[in-house]
Structure 1
Amino acid sequence: MQKSKKAILSNPKKLTLALVNDTGRLIESRIEIESVINNIDRWCNLVPELLVNGEIKTTTIPFIQLKNKLIPDQLVGIISPWNFPLLLSLIDAIPSLIAGCAVIVKPSEIVPRFIQPLLETIATVPLLNDIFTYIEGAGETGANLIEYVDFICFTGRVATGKKLAESAAKNFIPASL
């Protein structure tokens, strides 16, 4: 993830311009990029503590012990809103990627201009090329995404979240809403 941070920092102007074209907000777009950078650092610093595999813990029952076995989901789907398109699409993607999951993001169709500059940035980090992408589309695209993922993350309207939760439950897909 630190390589993706360096890639973003190497040319933030194109991404900032795309975010401004999407949202009309210059200062907020700069803050959004800075927040993503800080989020990468935050999650990278938490990794040693969170991803401890094989740790044995005792319970209140003397002969029962618990052992961590971390297994990443193969594909995490993320559906994000329009208001902070970069930050809210990466807020779940960053920890998912660090945990070893592949990620596909479907951002709001209202703000699609930031996708191309971000994909160009991702392309400079070979490790991410095969495991991280964005798809464009309207609500139907997000609704169909649940058929292909092992875990779904959603940020947006309550009404849409309820539909997504119902669809996830029918497909036995864990969801973060």
Structure 2
Amino acid sequence: MDSFQPALLQTLESLRGAHLQAPFDYADRVRLLRKLRRAVKARSEAFAEAISRDFGRRSRHETLIAEVMMVLHDIDHHLRHLRRWMRPRPVAADGLFQPARCEIRPQALGVVGVISPWNYPLQLALMPLTAALAAGNRVMLKPSELTPRTADLLADLVQECFKPNEVTISLGGPELAAAFSALPLDHLVFTGSTAIGRRVMEAAARNLTPVTLELGGKSPTLVMADFPQAEAVSRIVSGKFLNAGQTCIAPDYVLVPHDRREGFVRALQQEIESRYPSLTQTPDYTTIVSDRHHARLQSLVDEAEAKGARVFRVNPSGESLPASSRIFPPTLVLDPPADCALMREEIFGP
């Protein structure tokens, strides 16, 4: 960590000095956001290809919809509302302070750090960047090392769109991330696991750096007795198998009335089979990002099965799925014990 600290501190001080000397006004912010939008749109296919190669296989359509389109929409949203957001807002003065006039004036913080994850490596890097720029901040970005091709494309984009005293990007692994978290930033945004989030918050706390943490959870899905089964199944499959379940808001477990359970499981299996008739040939069934993540998913299922859970692996064509392929079949686990890791940790898989 110490080897990265001097260079990172120098970058931070350069950005902070630029912010203090020439804060971004409305025109600056609009200019930067428009440049970012043009660059993302021009590279949309390149990002889809890079992300797919980083994963092993990632649905092009999912990348264009869940990453590129969301980033473009987010930039448009900020451009549409930015002038109003920047405008001072009058508020009533307390009687003790009459005849004073009070107003709230939005002010930039200074330098914002963004540590982005691997599961949506474009969206979750550029949406925090967009918000920080719109608020008038300089930004230091650290993308995930698990998606290196995407990180390289992001680095090219940053160098094309921004001056070194506007936005910087740092590429590296856990040691760099630890040093990055320990910087005396004006705000730090982290998206990732709860375990790493604790470390990030601990490091930031030493500098009293405010943090925004978007971490994992269990995302329950409750299906009521009077809700149409076909609609529930369609929604659950769409949400769960987007990015092969490697999504923080994916349905994690489903609660259904006991007398509907068996029929619900059959309907889920049929829906999955109709969407993914082949797990090796379909371009829209995403692989798991790394061998380590694939092994973790397998251990979750193995433990639950060893403790008495019923496991249904949906593999419509009966294809061989070696661990080296990182293709994890859609898996339904019935009645997992409450004390197994599957019910205590975010699954983050299909």
1:17 maps to which of 49, 57, 73: 49
* Alpha-carbon distance in structure 1 between the residues aligned to 2:186 and 2:178: 14
Alpha carbons of structure 1 residues 106 and 50: separation in structure 2 relative to 1, 3 Å? same
What amino acid is the match of 2:211?
A: A
1:41 Cα deviation (Å)? Answer: 0.6
* Alpha-carbon distance in structure 2 between the residues aligned to 1:124 and 1:154: 24
1:148 Cα deviation (Å)? Answer: 4.6
2:91 maps to which of 57, 77, 81: 57
2:86 and 2:105 in contact (8 A); partners too: no
**Alignment deviations for residues 120-152 of structure 1 (CA, whole Å, 9 cap, x no partner):** 334443xx2331232111222122113152210
Instruction: Give unmatched runs, 5+ long, in structure 1.
Output: none
* Alpha-carbon distance in structure 1 between the residues aligned to 2:80 and 2:208: 32
State the partner residue of 1:2: 34
What amino acid is the match of 2:133?
A: L
State the partner residue of 1:141: 176
- Structure number with greater Rg is 2
* Alpha-carbon distance in structure 2 between the residues aligned to 1:134 and 1:38: 23
* Alpha-carbon distance in structure 1 between the residues aligned to 2:116 and 2:40: 20
2:119 maps to which of 46, 58, 83: 83
1:94 Cα deviation (Å)? Answer: 0.4
* Alpha-carbon distance in structure 2 between the residues aligned to 1:92 and 1:107: 12
2:184 and 2:204 in contact (8 A); partners too: no
Alpha carbons of structure 1 residues 71 and 113: separation in structure 2 relative to 1, 3 Å? same
What amino acid is the match of 1:163?
A: R
1:7 and 1:122 in contact (8 A); partners too: no
> For 1:16-35, what aligned pairs fall within 5 Å after superposition?
16-23=48-55, 24-25=57-58, 26-31=60-65, 32-35=67-70
Identity %: 28
State the partner residue of 2:323: none
State the partner residue of 1:45: 80
Alpha carbons of structure 1 residues 118 and 108: separation in structure 2 relative to 1, 3 Å? closer
CA RMSD of aligned residues (A): 1.9
